[in-house]
Structure 1
């Protein structure tokens, strides 16, 4: 019998998202790194292309965020505003709020 074992990345450091394309809502969980923030940026931009002028990003289940990940979200907020759109951040943890 042959077994194939796939190596799975650690979920402790991963950022995951749940997207609701009808409401324009993204729920994130895990750790917000630059790579995770880039994933969120792509999703938010995709929702804008679908016609959402306001996107809600729920960060309630984000446990840790680094400075570079927060910088990506700040830049995304500014870019969206420049294009007449809004990124609403919900449940921003207190330790992250100062960075946004």
Structure 2
């Protein structure tokens, strides 16, 4: 299960738990919401994510590309190793 802590003021998300496709979709929605509310740069901190699957990380890579195409930036910190 993935949990997130959102800092709407600074445009950041801190995730913990297991990153799967479902968890990545949750993070995507939150990042999109922050971006839509005026944060050009959204920081996603994965330091407390200990396990991730390829599908979850692929969603985040795609989201980063989508942000860049719209003139934004998704910064992913401490990306875990996939299983």
TM range (shorter): over 0.9
Aligned pair partner of 1:75 in 46, 50, 62: 62
Q: How many residues end up aligned between the 2 structures? A: 82
Q: Considering Cα pairs closer than 8 Å and 6+ residues apart, tell me whether 1 or 2 has the greater RCO.
A: 2
Which 5+ residue runs of structure 1 have no aligned equivalent? Answer: 1-13
Any unmatched runs of 5+ in structure 2? none
Residue 37 of structure 1, aligned match among 14, 19, 24: 24
Is the radius of gyration larger for structure 1 or structure 2? 1
Out of 46, 50, 59, the residue aligned to residue 33 of structure 2 is 46
Match of 2:71 in 1: 84
TM-score (normalised: structure 2): 0.95
Runs of 4+ in 1 over 4 A off after TM superposition: none
TM-score w.r.t. the length of structure 1 is 0.79
**Equivalents in 2 of 1:75, 1:89: separation in Å?**
12
Greater strand proportion? 2
